[in-house]
Amino acid sequence: MNTHLHVLKGCAPVPLANYLKALGILRLVGEQADPQARGWWEGERFCLLTKLSKEELEAFFLERYEPTPIFNPWGGRSGYYDGSPEKTARNALAAIEQSTTDRLLRFREAITVIRSIISEGGGNKPDSEESRNVMISRIRLGLRGSGSEWLDTVIADLGESFPKPALLGTGGNEGSGSYTAAFLAAVVECVVAQAWSSWITTSLWSDGSDRDSWDGSFSPPSKDGAKKTRKENVNQPFRQYMPSGEGSPWDLLLSFEGTIVIQSGVSRRSSTDHSRFLSSPFYFAPMGMGSGSSSEMDEYVLNKGRKNPGRGEQWFPLWDRPSTFGEVQRLFREGRCSTGRRAAKNPIDAARAICGLGASRGIISFLRYGYLQRDNLATHFAVPLGRILVRENSTNGLVDDLADWLDHVHRAARNKNAPIRLVAAHRCLADAVFAALTHDHTADRWQAILLAAADIEAIQATGSAIDAGPIPSLRPEWVAAVDDGSPEVRLALALGSAAAAYAKGRPIDPVRFHWLPLEPNARRFKKSDKRLVNDARVIATGRDPVRDLAALVERRLIESGMKGHRESRLVAARGCGARLDDLAQFLEGSLDIDKLAGLARAFMAIRWNRWHQDGPSPLFSGRIPDEPWLAIRLANLPGNWINDQHIPAEPRIVRLLMSGDSSRAIDIACNRLRSAGIRPPLQAGMTDAVTARLWAAALAFPIDWKTANMIAQLLDPRLKPKKGLLHA
In the chain, helix, strand, coil percent, each to 5?
45, 10, 40
Give the span between the Cα atoms of 542 and 533, in whole angstroms.
18
DSSP state of 454: H
pLDDT for the residue 269: 43
Rg (CA), the chain: 34
By the 8 A CB rule, do 220 and 95 touch?
A: yes
Q: 111-117 long-range CB contacts below 8 Å, 24 or more apart?
A: 111/69, 111/71, 113/139, 113/142, 113/143, 113/147, 114/71, 114/73, 114/80, 114/139, 115/80, 116/142, 117/73, 117/142
By the 8 A CB rule, do 470 and 518 touch?
A: yes
Among the listed ranges 142-151, 154-163, 242-251, 553-562, which one has the minimum average pLDDT value? 154-163
Give the span between the Cα atoms of 419 and 575, in whole angstroms.
40
Q: Give the residues across from 318 on adjacent strands.
A: 365
Residue range 93-128, pLDDT digits in tens: 999 999 999 999 999 999 999 999 999 999 999 999
Q: Is the peptide bond before 15 cis (omega within 30 degrees of 0)?
A: yes
Give the span between the Cα atoms of 650 and 670, in whole angstroms.
12
pLDDT band with cut points at 50, 70 and 90 for residue 283? confident
DSSP state of 342: E
| φ and ψ at residue 675, rounded to 5 degrees | -65, -20
* Single-letter code of the amino acid located at 107: F
Q: What pTM value is reported for the model? A: 0.86
Domain boundaries, the chain: 4-64, 84-259, 397-468, 477-715
Nearest CA-CA partner of 222 in 103, 102, 94: 94
By the 8 A CB rule, do 252 and 16 touch?
A: no
H or E element in which residue 506 lies: strand 506-510
Give mean pLDDT, residues 131-156: 89
CB atoms closer than 10 angstroms to residue 174: 21
Residue range 347-392, pLDDT digits in tens: 888 888 876 565 566 788 999 998 887 655 556 788 888 898 887 7
Give the span between the Cα atoms of 302 and 291, in whole angstroms.
21
| φ and ψ at residue 195, rounded to 5 degrees | -85, -10
3-state secondary structure of 382: strand
| φ and ψ at residue 473, rounded to 5 degrees | -60, 135
pLDDT band with cut points at 50, 70 and 90 for residue 270? very low
pLDDT for the residue 229: 62
